[in-house]
Structure 1
Amino acid sequence: MGTYKILVIDDEKSFLNVVVRNLEAEGFKTIYTNNPNEGIIIAKDTKVDLILTDAHLEPIDGFTLCKIIKEDSQTRNIPVIIMSGKDIEEEDMLKGFERGADDYILKPFSFKILSVKIKVVIKRYENDIEKDNTINRIGISFDPDSRTVKTNKEIIKLTRKEFDLLNLLLTRPGKVIRNSYILQTVWGYDPALYNDTHTVEVHIYSLRKKLPSHIAQKIETVSGIGYKLNI
């Protein structure tokens, strides 16, 4: 594993400079721009390991940028982390995940935490080892090899995180899975450094919305602990 190269996009130049300086202090290589359209061009023309973009950009916002990156065959395998202020609405966070964002970090943030998030997200892409067998359970056909989910032969489109979260639930039916374990397994976070259960809540909410209601209701919230798939 060499030094990771991070593409940073933020139209606030002073903050952009702070982020770049701190990432380089953490050992990353950086390439940066304050123009999202230029950022898309850089992503296509330069090998980068991850894109770190602000949510509120002009003339296109970070959510649209993420969608463009994930829909282009040249760039869709580049992970994206979105930076945003703490006043971001849950609806906007869901929009980002729907468009392929791999993670969020809320300003102001610790650059140590940002460094951990970046390494975890990149590592997950590097070690994306898929399972061998299709799981048929609770009316779902779940194929880890092709990363597809079907109900009655209809494909359900899930984000990367939603897919991995459903995989965890399906492979441990009837068992309570703690939030800390979900964060560690699906996101790769060290519970000692990051244990924000809101990340899990947002993805469970999004996953339930995409599944047929009779299947979604089988995902039980175990208050204060985690989640369980009832079969």
Structure 2
Amino acid sequence: MSRAPGRAVGWTLGLLVVLALVVGAVWAGSGPLRSLVSSAPPALGRAECTVTTQDGDVPLTREEAKAATTAVVRGADASAVPGVEPTVMERLTHGPPDDAGPSLRCRGHSSEGLEAQEITPSGLTPRAEAVRDAMIEVFGPLSLGGYAPGGVGHGHGENSTHYDGRAVDVFFRPVTEENRRQGWQLAHWLVAHAEDLDVQYVIFDDMVWGSRSPAGRWQPYNAPPPANEILRHLDHVHVDVVRGEPA
């Protein structure tokens, strides 16, 4: 005997009502379903940051990336950051096993609403000073360059952000595997904190990360001739901040 059409419609409407109640409980409530959804790790396609490990890509929130890169600098063990896998901490600490290189990437960020800044007596804009001070606070004494009191007007490429007081160089000399790995720890830390510090570009070891990249991937850096260690940024991490708009 066939089921009456009215009964089938009733079952369908009832199922839709139940589904609506479940969805409402998840997104509006604070019960176990809500906790389950909110605690789930971000999918790779929409992750704010990603670390490439020997087991594949691991998604991180930006807060997790900031905490992990800071913990690495401070020598914390692999379980120091809640929610971050030990393999991630291992990769951020030691880098890829075969060669030093980028392991963390973070999506770009918007710089809308920022005003342009003048160079201070230090030779840096206030935003660049904030980056310098934040690096020193976390990493301790660093070999810094690329700026001077009153500003610099030569020694860098045409239209360099150094001339605007928006860039700082952090040197890791000589170019060795250990210094490269230390340089990548700093580069990763800068990328993880780029949104907070209004970072525009990070350049190191023939690679460049830009805040305007939606996917936040590192790209090959094309150094100008003669493409030596300095111009290829093999011996130093370059970081600059956004210019901002005229007031």
Shorter-chain TM-score tier = under 0.3
If asked which structure has higher relative contact order (CA below 8 Å, sep 6+), I would say 2
Q: Between Structure 1 and Structure 2, whose CA radius of gyration is higher? A: 2
Q: Which has the higher helix share?
A: 1
Q: Which has the higher strand share?
A: 1
